Amino acid sequence: MIFDFQHLLFIAPALLLAFVASMMVRSAYAAGRQLPARYSGYAAARAMLDSAGLHEVGIEEIPGQLSDHYDPRDKVLRLSSEVFHGRTLSSVGIAAHEAGHALQDAHHYVPLVVRNAAVPLANFGSGAGLLLLFLGIAAGFAPLSWAGIFLFGAVVFFQVVNLPVEFNASSRAKAQLVDLGIVDVDEMRAVRKVLNAAALTYVAATLQSILTLLYYVLRFTASQRHD
């Protein structure tokens, strides 16, 4: 796709926020790695799951860094090696956040259900949306461009719905970590920094998708006025 400098300028606030969030995540994660915890990431997640009666939810070790996630289809937490084995506040916080997603799934948390349902269309729209929009503009065929806008709108919808899902998972993690005695109130400060910084990355991604959609809607409507 042709490089669009105007688009880059338009989404610059989101890119700046994403850069700041990335720096905050790296800083908070590095600081938390230096602080020992009584539990490993695996043990913390297991304790949260078992306390909620989710004994059937498995926990698997996977390669990579910060590749941690919860798979609602297989009902399993997948934790990177460092988080799985690490006895640090960073590892405990990340593992607890993913366990929070499992708790959401078990309680049929509505935004999570909606987000999971939106995944296929969002994945398709992220690639096909802008392509159809540009093809419609080039061919002078407005319905094709509107189809592209609709498809990319699914990406924006996914990102917006994902925000409460991620914030709520962190809220569940923070509450459970203290209630179960996995971390104390003083240790929670470091965990909170990791989770809050990670949440900011989702805010940046959402803002970027919204600004991208707005930019191309404006670009399309401007091309319509010139025709």
Which positions are annotated as active-site residues? 98
What is the CA 216 to chain-centroid distance, rounded?
Answer: 24
User: Strand, helix or coil at 50?
Assistant: helix
Q: C-alpha 72: how far from its chain's center?
A: 15
Phi, psi of 56 (to 5 degrees): -80, -15
Rounded Cα–Cα distance for residues 59 and 161 (Å): 26
Q: What are phi and psi of 183, to 5 degrees?
A: -135, 155
Rounded distance between C-alpha atoms, residue 133 and residue 220, angstroms: 8
- Measured CA angle at 23 (ends 21, 27), to 5 deg: 115
Helices (H), the chain: 5-10, 12-33, 41-51, 81-85, 89-106, 110-139, 142-179, 185-226
Contact assessment for residue 69 and residue 61, using Cβ atoms and an 8 Å cutoff:
no
- CA 43 – CA 92 distance, rounded (Å): 8
Sign of torsion, CA 189 190 194 195? negative
